[in-house]
């Protein structure tokens, strides 16, 4: 068996090359956009949502709600200064650390075309009331009951 021309050696080289290629990938993936450095209102649409917080990242000052990354910012864009206002349900200011996963928030800001939302307002709100579905029983005397019964009796197993 000649080692230089063996299939095993070729397979080993392929695995080694692919392994090195994977290890050399950058740590910051290109899917994670860094649009805050060159932010422009021309690339944005208004955004407004009431949603539950899915994730909070205190190091990057961002949270995930309604499957959108929401950036809490303090930016100077030319002559404009953009600051996210963080409030509770009564409108009093609060710290970013007070937001937790599972809380309901109202977010108002700008959705960038590259993804992500630059928030102007993040307000903690009370969860919406969950209404029970209305279940109506069909009385045996009703016409609807007779129609359903007739259709069900025609089904044979």
The whole-angstrom separation of Cα 75 and Cα 81 is 6
Domain segments of the chain as ranges: 41-125
Place of tokens 């944005």: 44
Residues 6+ apart with CB under 8 A from 99: 53, 56, 63, 86, 105, 122, 124
> For the whole model, what pTM was predicted?
0.61
Instruction: Give tens-digit pLDDT for 11-61.
Output: 888 888 888 877 776 654 444 445 566 667 777 899 999 999 999 998 888
Instruction: Give tens-digit pLDDT for 93-152.
Output: 999 999 999 999 999 999 988 788 999 999 999 988 887 777 777 677 788 788 888 888
Query: What is 41-125's CATH number, 1.20.120.80, 2.40.50.320, 3.40.50.1220, 3.40.30.10?
Result: 2.40.50.320
Phi, psi of 152 (to 5 degrees): -70, -30
Q: Are 88 and 123 in contact (CB under 8 A)?
A: yes
More confident residue, 68 or 130: 68
């Amino acid at each position: 068996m000649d080692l230089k021309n063996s299939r095993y050696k070729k397979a080993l080289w392929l695995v080694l090359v692919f392994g090195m290629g994977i290890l050399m990938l950058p740590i910051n993936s290109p899917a994670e956009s860094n649009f805050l450095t060159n932010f422009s209102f021309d690339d944005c649409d208004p955004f407004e949502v009431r949603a539950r917080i899915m994730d909070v990242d205190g190091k990057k000052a961002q949270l995930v709600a309604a499957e959108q990354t929401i950036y809490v910012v303090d930016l100077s864009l030319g002559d404009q200064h953009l600051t996210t206002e963080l409030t509770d349900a009564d409108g009093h200011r609060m710290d970013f650390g007070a937001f937790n996963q599972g809380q309901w928030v109202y977010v108002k800001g700008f959705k960038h075309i590259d993804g992500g939302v630059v928030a102007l307002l993040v307000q903690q709100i009370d969860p919406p009331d969950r209404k029970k579905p209305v279940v109506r029983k069909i009385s045996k005397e009703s016409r609807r009951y007779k129609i359903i019964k007739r259709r069900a009796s025609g089904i044979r197993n």
